[in-house]
Amino acid sequence: MFEVDFRYLEQFLIALGLMSLTVLINSVGMNWVRLYYRRFWSREARYRSRRMVMVGIAAIMLAVHCVEVLVWALFFFLRGIVPTWLSAMYYSLASYSTLGESNIALPDHWRGLGGFEAMNAMLMFGWSTAILATVVMKLHSLDE
């Protein structure tokens, strides 16, 4: 028959907390993207600066996502779910990037967290992609 298992409820609630933290981090990061765009985009030097603006924005986004990976890895390591800091980072990076091939298996009680981290990452990548698409549209609309 159907057996209730509260492990996933606990993992969901923990993931909700970690996701809230990553949303705050991503919000700050996307604000940095906006500030960077405003500071470094120049119509006068638009062809040269367009490339540099895009490289800078991609670098900011990559750094923000790396900080978000660190948040999850820190949780895994501090809770003793993954035994070493390097393993926690590797597992988190594999889960966050949705690669999923870390060769590290979480204990049964925590097995769902990798999936929750991947779902969180899809939301954060989607947000970044929307910002990136907006910047590209603004840059290309200047050509018309």
pLDDT in 10s for each residue of the chain, 144 residues: 556 567 788 899 999 999 999 999 999 999 999 999 888 776 665 666 778 888 999 999 999 999 999 999 999 999 999 999 999 999 999 999 988 777 888 898 898 999 999 999 999 999 999 999 998 888 777 665
59 close to 82: Cβ distance less than 8 angstroms = no
Gap between the Cα atoms of 22 and 29, Å rounded: 10
Q: pLDDT at position 85, please?
A: 97
Gap between the Cα atoms of 35 and 18, Å rounded: 26
pTM over 0.85: yes
Neighbouring C-beta atoms of residue 75, cutoff 10 Å: 20
85 close to 73: Cβ distance less than 8 angstroms = yes
Q: pLDDT at position 138, please?
A: 83
